[in-house]
């Protein structure tokens, strides 16, 4: 058996520490002021006790820990933890040298035990068991046996909730988004521990705050206000979620001071782990593309950050549609245009009608046709189009403008001369 006892620096971090500990062992329990872990079965998995402790305590960057201790039994680990927190040196000859006031079961009998000269665990177990049981009851004997590993230890193990839904009372009324974000950092830390313990990635979250006023200037106020955070890819990265929350809160005005903050998950998926690669092009420093797109969409508005989506249509102006990048997904943030390699890289928003001189189109002078006609007959099914598109496309050269993409409309009934239009430009 191998027990570890932890004491979080802040009471509000106890739950987060317990959820973090569940990544290393399923046997985690709250015992009085400490968190106890039975990690004997996990030692080999993490490469020994030292590596296990190093991985567990690595979370001190986000979660502070006052002290920790380890021992073969839970009561000894708890006693050593209390000794460290009192700043006292560890006595020689463990466990017999441990003071009795470190054990909860002995505290009610300390005065009597001191009068008979019994102040340490070794002195206690040197006394006759029958007399101890009659004088102090079975509870002290049971605790003594459990501390020495002669009796099984039973606790109510921590069980993760199926969904994350946590609240925090604000230390002072929040009047700005910055105040909310400061407290929200603690909730995001808890969320990360929960996601890691459940092996999940977050796709959608809801951040809700409770207003401290019922009315303002005689107008009734809603009891709560909230924002929704969404990501294109599942994540356990709290830095990205914090940036999203910061951008969205900067656009939100609090109707009244807030006194409570709540964070809950709306959508999660199984976490496949972070993608790793030895190739340098796959490990570029900086922010990922989909994270940048999501952050800019919040800051500038979804309608101002768009990506092309390809459509099946023969009309060049209808081959793509611009949609919000955040709605389309980060995977579509950069989409290569397919189709004919002869298409120009730049299309005019509206085709420009060209002058015709002697049945030849002209744009800043006569144009020389370089290719044969590429016929397009489309939109006969489109009820919104005024008439079908009947065009012949050419690549033409202009002495002053370079290569152009032009088309000629088919002659309609009663039309004497074909109409030519400029539709695209080549770089």
Which residues neighbour 307 within 8 Å (Cβ) at sequence distance 6 or greater? 322, 323, 325, 328, 332, 333, 334, 335
CA distances from 223 to 102, 220, 253, 256, 278 (A): 47, 9, 15, 10, 51
Per residue, what are the HEC states of the chain?
CCEEEEEECCHHHHHHHHHHHCCCCCCEEEECCEEEEECHHHCCCCCCHHHHHHHHHHHHHCCCEEEEEEECCHHHHHHHHHHHHCCCCCCCCCCCCCEHHHCHHHHCCHHHHHHCCCCEHHHHHCCCHHHHHHHHCHHHHHHHHHHCCCCCCCCCCCCCCCCCEEEEEEEEEECCHHHHHHHHHHHHHHHHHHHHHHCEEEEEEEEEEEECCCEECCEECCCEEEEEEEEEEEECCHHHHHHHHHHHHHCCCCCCCEEEEEEEEEEEEECCCCCCCCCHHHCCCCCCHHHHHHHHHHHHCHHHCEEEEECCCCCHHHCEEEEEHHHHCHHHCCCCCCCCCCCCCEEEEEEEECEEECCEEECCCECEECCCCEEEEECCCCCCCCCCEEEEEEEEEECCCEEEEEEEECCCCCCCCCCEEEEEECC
Cα 113 to chain center, whole Å?
54
Tens digits of residue pLDDT in 286-343: 677 777 888 888 888 888 888 777 777 777 877 777 788 876 654 444 444 445 557 8
Query: Which residue's structure tokens are 């709540």?
Result: 262
Question: Which of 324, 258, 266 lies closest to 297 in space, CA to CA?
Answer: 324
Asked whether the predicted pLDDT for residue 185 surpasses 80, the reply is yes
Alpha carbons 82 and 196: distance in angstroms, whole number = 29
Work out the percent of the chain whose per-residue pLDDT is above 70.
89
pLDDT tens-digit profile of 134-178? 999 999 999 999 999 999 888 999 999 999 999 988 888 988 888
Cis peptide before 95, with omega less than 30 degrees from 0?
A: yes
229-266: pLDDT as tens digits: 988 889 998 888 998 888 888 888 888 899 999 999 99
Q: Which residues pair with 263 in a beta bridge?
A: 166, 207
pLDDT tens digits for 375-395? 888 766 665 666 678 889 999
Looking at residue 79, its pLDDT comes to: 95
**Which pTM does this prediction carry?**
0.65
**CA 106 to chain centroid:** 46
Mean pLDDT, the chain, integer: 85
Of residues 360 and 29, more confidence is placed in 29
CA distance 27 to 17: 13
Q: How is the chain split into domains, by residue range?
A: 3-147, 165-270, 346-425
Residue 412 pLDDT greater than 80, yes or no = no
Specify the higher pLDDT residue, 282 or 191.
Answer: 191
Query: Domain 165-270: which CATH class?
Result: alpha beta
Q: What band does 70 get if pLDDT is binned at 50, 70 and 90?
A: very high
pLDDT, tens only, 14-28: 888 898 899 899 999
Rounded Cα distance between 71 and 69, Å, is 7
Bigger pLDDT: 399 or 340?
A: 399
What pLDDT digit, counting tens, does each position of 74-128 carry? 999 999 999 999 999 888 888 999 999 999 999 999 999 999 999 999 999 899 9
Among residues 342, 399, 349, 328, the alpha carbon closest in space to that of 371 is found at 342
For residues 73 and 3, what is the distance between their CA atoms, to the nearest angstrom? 6
- Residue 52: pLDDT over 80: yes
- For the chain, what percent of residues have pLDDT higher than 90? 41
**What pLDDT shows up at residue 331?**
44
CA 283 to chain centre: 20
CB 6 within 8 A of CB 65: yes
Per the model's pLDDT, the better-predicted residue between 69 and 273 turns out to be 69
Query: In which residue are the tokens 């004919």 written?
Result: 340
Q: What is the pLDDT of residue 217?
A: 79
Are the CB atoms for 362 and 354 separated by under 8 Å?
Answer: yes
Q: Which residue has the higher pLDDT, 294 or 408?
A: 408
Q: Which residue has the higher pLDDT, 312 or 403?
A: 403
CA atoms within 13 A of residue 147's CA, in its CB half-sphere = 29
Inter-residue contact 260 to 206 (CB < 8 Å): no
Report the pLDDT value the prediction gives residue 153, as an integer from 0 to 100. 87
Residue 416 pLDDT greater than 80, yes or no = no
């Amino acid at each position: 058996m191998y027990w570890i006892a932890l004491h979080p620096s802040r009471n509000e971090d106890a739950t987060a520490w317990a959820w973090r500990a569940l990544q290393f062992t399923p046997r985690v329990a709250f015992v009085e002021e400490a968190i106890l872990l039975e990690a004997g079965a996990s030692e080999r998995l993490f490469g020994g006790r030292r590596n296990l402790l190093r991985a567990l305590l690595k979370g001190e960057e986000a979660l502070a820990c006052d002290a920790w201790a380890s021992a073969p039994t839970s009561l000894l680990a708890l006693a050593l933890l209390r000794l460290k927190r009192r700043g006292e040196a560890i006595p020689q000859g463990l466990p017999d040298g441990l003071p009795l006031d470190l054990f909860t079961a002995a505290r009610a009998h300390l005065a009597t035990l001191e009068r008979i000269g019994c102040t340490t665990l070794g002195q206690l177990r040197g006394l006759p068991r029958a007399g101890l049981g009659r004088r102090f009851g079975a509870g002290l004997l049971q605790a003594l046996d459990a501390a020495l590993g002669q009796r099984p230890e039973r606790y109510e193990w921590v069980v993760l909730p199926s969904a994350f839904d946590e609240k925090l009372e604000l230390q002072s009324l929040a009047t700005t988004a910055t105040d909310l974000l400061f407290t929200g950092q603690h909730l995001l830390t808890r969320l990360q521990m929960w996601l890691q313990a459940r092996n999940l990635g977050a796709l959608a979250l809801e951040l809700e705050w409770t207003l401290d006023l019922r009315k303002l200037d005689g107008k009734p106020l809603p009891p709560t206000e909230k924002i929704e955070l969404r990501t294109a890819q599942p994540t356990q990265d709290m830095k990205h979620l914090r940036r999203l929350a910061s951008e969205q809160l900067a656009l939100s005005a609090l109707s009244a001071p807030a006194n409570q903050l709540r964070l809950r998950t709306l959508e999660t998926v199984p976490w496949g782990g972070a993608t790793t690669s030895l190739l340098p092009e796959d490990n570029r420093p900086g922010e990922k593309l989909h994270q940048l797109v999501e952050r800019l969409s919040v800051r500038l508005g979804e309608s101002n950050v768009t990506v092309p989506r390809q459509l099946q249509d023969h009309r060049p102006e209808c081959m793509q549609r611009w949609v919000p990048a955040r709605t389309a997904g980060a995977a579509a943030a950069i989409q290569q245009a397919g189709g004919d390699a002869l298409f120009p890289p730049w299309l005019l928003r509206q085709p420009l009608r060209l002058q015709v001189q002697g049945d030849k189109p002209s744009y800043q002078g006569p144009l020389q046709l370089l290719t044969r006609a590429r016929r397009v007959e489309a939109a006969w099914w489109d009820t919104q189009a005024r008439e079908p598109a009947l065009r012949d496309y050419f690549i033409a050269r202009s002495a002053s403008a370079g290569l152009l993409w032009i088309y000629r409309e088919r002659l309609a009934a009663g039309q004497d001369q074909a109409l030519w239009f400029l539709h695209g430009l080549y770089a």
